[in-house]
Amino acid sequence: MTIMKTLGQFIIEKQADFPYAKGELSRLLRDIGIAAKVVNREVNKAGLADILGESGHVNIQGEGQKKLDVYADEQFMRALSSGGECCVFASEEQDEAVYLNSTVSKDAKYIVCIDPLDGSSNIDVNVSVGTIFSIYRRKSTEGEATLSDILQKGIHQVAAGYIIYGSSTMLVYTTGKGVNGFTLDPSIGEFCLSHPNIIIPEKGNIYSINEGNYVKFPQGIKDYIKYCQIEDVATRRPYVSRYIGSMVADIHRNLLKGGIFLYPTTSSHPQGKLRLLYECNPIAFIVEQAGGKATTGYERILDILPRELHQRCSAIMGSREMVEKVEDFLRP
């Protein structure tokens, strides 16, 4: 008989991995898991409720917010506010970071950066979407947290993860001790360990990129795409092109099967388009912990010092050999 291990049980078992932890991080991860269940419920009935379409608001990136974007943002902030372990909530959907100064949060030690609903343009057409989160331990020890507490390099993350709302709902996370995946069992309402110790293959044959932007890509990226399309038995080419338009979904597939995700700079977005704090850093942490590689094409993503809350970044991440091949093409 297989013994089922829930997310809560797993987190408690691994709590000893943190010499400074007294249960706060475990409770914080639990709060994220609870909010994910609430968002999952709404995603699954999106076609039956009045939460499809635009909310009528635009976020700081100038992107139209979907109603479910706003709902997810509210649910995660509410869960983290009431949990009391998070002192700052920094969201892609909020213009500024939210400093949680309530009685339960004023002495909290952790900062959460989050993309509440990645790939929300897919909501209306019933394609997988997700949540991406990143957790830092605040550096300051007195008074309220400050912006410098948020603007930390990705290497200082204490945990990161994503939730994918697809044919099944999965929560995948790391605390720097490998990557583990949990599938939501709707019959008992619990995330259960289903993918222990995820390791991304060294090589892969899937490349994920929006080729509609081909003319805007740097020459090295154009050359790599052509390389992927050339027939060569020895290197299993041509590779398979798979692009969903939801970073979480593309990363999740490539993490399990082997592949590369590319969101490079373009002539219209010379700094890249993905957000460093909410998307690139947490996914890069997961990919590296699974044995892969995550760079901008020129430098390790986790070594970048953020200068601003909504800083953008290019991203090339996945199977190590594939990422290194892209770097070869980009090298002058």
Residue partners of 71: CB distance under 8 A and separation at least 6: 39, 42, 51
pLDDT value at position 184? 95
**Fold (topology level) of 7-195:** Fructose-1,6-Bisphosphatase; Chain A, domain 1 (3.30.540)
Q: Extract the residue ranges of the chain whose pLDDT is less than 50.
A: 55
pLDDT value at position 25? 87
Residue 208 has phi, psi (to 5 degrees) of -120, 110
Asked if 277 contacts 90 with a C-beta cutoff of 8 angstroms, the reply is yes
Residues of the chain with CATH 3.30.540.10: 7-195
**Fold (topology level) of 206-330:** D-Maltodextrin-Binding Protein; domain 2 (3.40.190)
Which residues are 115's β-sheet partners? 132
pLDDT value at position 64? 52
pLDDT value at position 63? 56
Q: Is the pTM of this model over 0.85?
A: yes
Residues of the chain with CATH 3.40.190.80: 206-330
pLDDT value at position 308? 95
pLDDT value at position 180? 96
Cis omega (within 30 of 0) for bond into 116: no
